[in-house]
Structure formats: structure tokens, C-alpha cells
Amino acid sequence: MSVNLNDLNSLTLAYLGDAVYELYIREYLIESGNGKPNKLHDKAIQYVSAEAQASIIHFLLDSHILTDQEERIMKRGRNAKSVSVPKNISVQNYRYSTGFEALIGYLYIQKDKERLQELIQLSIEFINN
């Protein structure tokens, strides 16, 4: 994918990041041997829900794991004004979740596969604990 990062708004990065993160989680779950589709879906929700993503980004921020640039991208995503917010989550957590997704989308666009995999692995370990 060859896209200029400056041409993308934060919600577009989050849209892409959501798909990328979900794909990584699905691969992880299948490789872990959780075979039945309905069980896979239920297990995936533990990792990809907005609540889970908000808790992951708080963990990454509190641990000072993100670079300054990654933190700026996350804040851009967090501060983006979306049209709607799901009813089952607070506005604050929804925004942090969007920030997490924007960060994942950014790393994907930057083709920084090593860092993308590192942060996703940390996210998985955080949720597993």
C-alpha cells in the first residue's frame, strides 16, 4: 500500500488499523488452536473490543513503550471527532480505542512490520494477563 500519511485523516488510519489488528488477532487465535468459529469469535472479542483496545493503549502509555511519534499519532486518533459512539462504551474509552486503531493503521502504512508485530504481541500478552 503506497499512501501519503499526510493525506489520511485519523479516522481513516483507525479504520485500517481496526482491520489489521483484527487480522493479527484472528491469526493468533487460529495458531493457538482455538478451532471452532463461534469460539474463535467469542475469544477474539476479548482482544478487539473497544474496551480491550482502550485498556491496551493505557497500558502502552503507562509503560512508556510508545515513541513520541507513535504517541502523537495515537493522540490524533483519540482526538478525532467521530460521527457516533457505540452505546456500550464510554466516549472516553471509545476515543482511546480509536487512538489505538489509528496507531496500528499508521504502523501498517509506514510498513514498519517489526514494530507493528511488537506492539500487537505486547497487546496480546497484556490481554492474556
- Of 26-35, 40-49, 113-122, which has the strongest mean pLDDT? 113-122
Give the Cα separation of 29 and 35 in Å (integer). 8
Give the Cα separation of 115 and 15 in Å (integer). 19
- HSE-CB for 92 with a 13 A CA cutoff: 2
Which of 18, 62, 68, 112 is the catalytic position? Answer: 18
User: Which domains, from first to last, does the chain contain?
Assistant: 5-128 (1.10.1520.10)
Using the predicted structure, report yes or no on whether residue 10 has a pLDDT greater than 60: yes
Q: How confident is the model at residue 85 (pLDDT cuts 50, 70, 90)?
A: confident
- Stated length of the chain: 129
* pLDDT averaged over every residue in the chain: 91
Burial class (CB in 10 A: 0-12, 13-18, 19+), 96: buried
pLDDT at 61: 97
Mean pLDDT of 33-41: 79
Does the active-site annotation cover 112?
A: no
Using the predicted structure, report yes or no on whether residue 1 has a pLDDT greater than 70: no
C-alpha grid cell, residue 44: 477474539
The pTM for the full model equals: 0.92
DSSP annotation of 6 reads G
Q: Which residues contact 90 (CB under 8 A, 6 or more apart)?
A: none
Mean pLDDT of 35-51: 88
